[in-house]
Structure 1
Amino acid sequence: MEGYAMKYRLLGENLQTIRKARGMKQQELADQIGINMQSLSKIERGLNYPTFETLEKIMNALGITPNELLSGEWSHTDHAEPFLIDVIRREADFDVSLDTLHENEYFQSHEQWQYYMKDKLAEYVRNYLDDTKTSIEELLELKQLVQRQKTERLLKMYKELHSLDRYGEQPQGYVYDNPYDDEQLRELADIGRKRNIPDVSPQSDFDEEDYKHYLEEIGFAKPRR
């Protein structure tokens, strides 16, 4: 009996710790799982053990796994595991879907596949950019990543040119058929359109209507003064 009492107490202590970490009151959790507050209090104090159905409702309400609730002492970092695993799985599914997209029999031409691929990649990036929870710091990190990628592509072409001039052959794994082609260099540097690096002129391009929509999305009815 002492072993069972220890398990009851451990579950109750973990449940109470997790509930408080989630900022939930006893009554709030009791209402969500469909029991009265006195019953929940007894579970948290280790006096009662919940039924399987109640235990399942508790885990769903708190967003935790059985292992987090029943094994050892709960730590504040454990609850991140299911979220981490879920996002890694979904990101991996997305990557695999894109990697095998060119094999899909739906597409009748390379151009169709390329169009769809770019559309999905643009949607992925756009969803990230449009998320109101995305901070300016995150966007600055993304900017730095894009800047490095653009520079590395130019450096890769420069290495091909240097290798051809010095050794008469290109390094293995390099992709440009004719690195002397100025048109390819112009495309990489965006010389013709010059649209990949935007002007920063809020006096002329700050859009009040877009700003109002943004305020609505983040929960502000009107701009703060």
Structure 2
Amino acid sequence: MDVLQRTAGNAAVARAMAGTAVQRAVDEDERPARLATHGSWERQKIWAPADYGPHTPRTGGTSVRVTLGPGMRAPGSTYAGSRPRRDACTIVDELNAQCGWERWIKGHLWNDNLGGPGVSENLTPMTGRTNGRFNSDFEEPLKRMLDACARQARSEPGHPVWYGVRFDVRKDGVFDEVPDPADRADFTRISRGVVAEGFEYTAHYVQKDKADGTTTLVGGAPRGFPAEIH
């Protein structure tokens, strides 16, 4: 009988202690100071849904606007997007089959390392060379801007705002670098002006108030941050 009482008593104590531990965990997670200053910046990733321009499954997309927060460069978010879908921007398959004098790819308007999906709205036909220029001239500087936002969020948890970046990308011009006149007819027939010569792009800093969630343009680069992209 004593053994049963001791066993029952121990079980009751264990349940009480477990309940206390759970209550403490909830209390700590719900403290306003914790929510405002510890750990929450990593969840600040996409601040506004992507706004895409005209697009079709065959020809892909034409433009995109996205607002990203510092969490997009948090540990574990280095590849947050997706590879091009097989059924998206299918004109690239036609170009590679009939215009093999270039390496054609399904290029992301919104970089896949920053969350861009591999869907037709966000893909456009590019040459490998065009993609390389787009990466070095825009995508890498954009990543550096977001890296600065992440560093600030991590190092200054008590700051009243988080910083992020709003960027726009739009196809510009028509590709006409066809090396052989004999190839021009096939290329023109397939592309009909769909392949862009290059891209117009801008990237501006925004700030999000931690108290009310309001997002506004900063009006320039915060001190110590890389320059905006114009």
TM-score (norm 1): 0.25
- Which protein is richer in helix relative to its size? 1
TM-score (norm 2): 0.25
- Which protein is richer in strand relative to its size? 2
Q: State the structure with more CA Rg.
A: 1
